[in-house]
Structure 1
Amino acid sequence: MAQSRFPAIALCLLLAMPAAWAAEDISKVNGSIEVAAGTVHGELDTVNGSISIGDGAQTGDASTVNGSIKVGANARVGSLDTVNGAIRVGRNVQASGGIETVNGSVFVDRGSTVAGDIETVNGAIGLVETQLRGDIETVNGDVTVGIGSVVSGSLSIKRSSGWFQSAPKRKPRVVIGPRAVVQGPLKFEREVRLYVHRSARTGPVTGAEPVVFDTDTAPED
C-alpha cells in the first residue's frame, strides 16, 4: 500500500513546485524589474531602478527608491511605493495596499480599486472611475478625483513642514469631477483652488471655498 501511494504523493509535490517558484520575490539594488504579463510573483524590491508589471500579472508589494512604477491592465498587486518616481496604474487593477510617492505623480485608470491610501508630497494625484478605500493626502500636488470615482476616506492637503521649507509659490488645484464622490471631509491646511462639479458629492469642506461648475472639465485658472 505504501508503494502505491508514493507516486501520487510525488506527483502532487511536482505539480505544486512551479507555483511556488512563480511566486518568488524579486530583489535588486541597481536595476529595473520587469514582470511579464500573466505571471505570478511575490514582492518586488529595488533601489535604483523602475518597476514594470505586465497586464494580468499578480504580485505582492512593489517598492523602489529611485524609479517609476507602472502597472498594466487587469493586474493584481499589493502596495506600490517609491520615493523619486511616478506611479501609473492601468485599467481594472486591484491593489490590496496603498500607493505612495514623495517626488512623483500618481495616476489610476478606469475600473481600478485601491484598498489603502494614496499619498504624495510633490506630485499630482489623478483618479478616473476609481474606487479608493482609503484617504488622499498631498502637500504640493494637484488632485483630480475624476469622473465617477469614489473615495471612501478623506482628502487632505497638508501644510509644508521642515526647518528650511520656503513659502509655497503656487496654490494646488483640486478638482472633484462629474459624479465623483469623496465620502470623508476635505481638509486644506494651505490655500488651494477647489472646483467641485454640481453632480459630485463630498463631505464637509474646511480651509477652502468650492467653485461649483457644470461643464465636463473644470474652469481654467
Structure 2
Amino acid sequence: MSATRRLPLAFALSLLLASSAVVAASDVVDIDKVNGSITAESGQVYGDLETVNGSIRLEDGAHARDAQTVNGSVKAGDGIEAEDLGTVNGSIRVGTQARISGGIETVNGGIFVDRGGNVAKGIETVNGAIGIVATEVGGGIETVNGDVTVGIDSHVHGGLKVTKPTSNWMPIKFGGNRKPRIVIGPNAVVDGDLVFEREVTLYVHTSARIGKVTGATPVAFDTPRAPHD
C-alpha cells in the first residue's frame, strides 16, 4: 500500500480517537455548590469541583480538574490527580504521590504536600505556611506572611519569594512584626533565586543547593531539623 493510500486511513483513525475523547470528556461530572462540602470518591474521575461555603475532599486515587472553594479546606488523599487546587479561607493538604498539573494557591491558610508529590506550576499563599516533603515543584514558591519549609529531598525549579505586604492586601490582617521562618532542608534543591522583600529567618541545610539569595543571610545547619528561633 502506498503512503498516499495510507493517509485517509490514518486521518479517519485520528478522527475516531478524537471523537472518543470528546465523548469521554462529556461524561465527566462537574460539581458546583454554594453551601456544602464536596467529596470526590476514590478512583473516580471528575470535572471541576467548586463550592463557596464548604470543604472539598479528594479521596485516594481520585482524579479531577480544578478543586476550588472560598470558605473551606481542600484535603486530598494519596495518588490523586488534579489541575489546580485553591481556596481563599482555608488550608490545603495533599497526600503522597499526588500529581498536580497546575498549581496550588490559598489566601488565608497553609499548604502541605507530602512525599512523592509533583506540582507542575507554583505554590502560593498570602497568609499561611507552606511545607513540602520530597516533592517536585516546576514553578516557584511565593508567600507574603507565611513560613516556608522546602523539606528533605524536595526540588523547587522556579525559586522562592517572600513578598513585602502592601496596601493591596488589605483588609487582610498580618501577624504583627513576626519574621517568616524559611527552611531549606536536607538534600533539598531550589534552582531559582531566593528573594526576600521583608525580613525573614533563613535556614539552609549544608547538603542543600540553592540559587542566589537577596534580602537575607542564610544560616547553615547540619542536623535533621533546623534550629528553633
Deviation at 1:64, TM superposition (A): 0.5
Q: Tell me the percent identity.
A: 60
Q: Which runs of 5+ in 2 are unaligned?
A: 1-19
1:157-176 equivalent positions in 2, closer than 5 A:
157-162=162-167, 168-176=176-184
Deviation at 1:110, TM superposition (A): 0.1
Q: Which residue of 1 aligns with 2:198?
A: 190
CA distance in 2, matches of 1:36, 1:167: 37
Deviation at 1:131, TM superposition (A): 0.4
1:122-161 equivalent positions in 2, closer than 5 A:
122-161=127-166
TM-score (norm 2): 0.86
Q: Which residue of 2 aligns with 1:40?
A: 45
Aligned 8 A contact 2:115 2:133 in 1: yes
CA distance in 1, matches of 2:85, 2:215: 30
Aligned 8 A contact 1:22 1:40 in 2: no
CA RMSD of aligned residues (A): 1.9
Structure 1, residues 151-187: CA drift from partner, whole Å, max 9, x if none?
Answer: 0001000001117677942000000000000000000
Q: Which amino acid aligns with 1:71?
A: A
Deviation at 1:24, TM superposition (A): 1.3
Q: Which residue of 2 aligns with 1:205?
A: 213
Q: Which amino acid aligns with 2:158?
A: G
Aligned 8 A contact 1:67 1:84 in 2: yes
TM-score (norm 1): 0.89
CA distance in 2, matches of 1:178, 1:33: 37
Q: Which amino acid aligns with 2:146?
A: G
Q: Which residue of 2 aligns with 1:220?
A: 228
* Structure 2 residue 116 is matched with structure 1 residue 111: yes
Q: Which residue of 1 aligns with 2:59?
A: 54
**What is the number of equivalent residue pairs in this alignment?**
207
Change (3 A) 1:16 1:137: closer
Q: Which runs of 5+ in 1 are unaligned?
A: 1-14
Higher-strand-fraction structure: 2
